[in-house]
């Protein structure tokens, strides 16, 4: 495995853990938070998708008023994506 790919996997694991940490701090049921990472390749472009699952009652806390909390998390991921020269999406389920 090329060194760059291994470093990127470590970076994506850190970003996944960051999203999980933020989500657990915000919700009423932190034990029901799950975060998964997927790598999608479309037309030779890599796109990372971080899927955040929370209890139905906690979705409003993650999304926030007018989507501000979710947008803030996505902004953090966007900064990391620029650093990694890739694309990262956050899906809230």
Tell me, what's the pLDDT at 8? 66
Q: How far apart are CA 62 and CA 21, in angstroms?
A: 12
pLDDT in tens, the chain (93 residues): 444 566 568 889 999 999 999 999 999 999 999 999 999 988 888 899 999 999 999 999 999 999 999 999 999 999 999 998 889 999 999
Task: Please give the domain boundaries of the chain with CATH numbers for all domains.
Answer: 3-92 (3.30.300.20)
Backbone Cα Rg of the chain: 14
DSSP one-letter code for 86: S
Percent of the chain as helix, strand, coil, to the nearest 5: 60, 25, 15
Q: What is the pTM of this model?
A: 0.88
Q: Kind and range of the H or E element at 18?
A: helix 3-26
Residue 51's nearest CA partner among 15, 7, 10 is 15
């Amino acid at each position: 495995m090329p060194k760059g790919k291994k470093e990127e996997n470590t970076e994506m694991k850190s970003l996944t853990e960051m999203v999980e940490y933020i989500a657990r701090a915000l919700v009423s049921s932190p034990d029901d938070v799950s975060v998964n990472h997927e790598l999608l390749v479309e037309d030779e472009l890599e796109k990372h998708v971080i899927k955040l699952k929370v209890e139905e009652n906690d979705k409003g806390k993650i999304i926030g008023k007018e989507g501000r909390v979710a947008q803030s998390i996505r902004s953090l991921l966007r900064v990391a994506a620029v650093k990694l020269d890739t694309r990262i999406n956050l899906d809230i389920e």
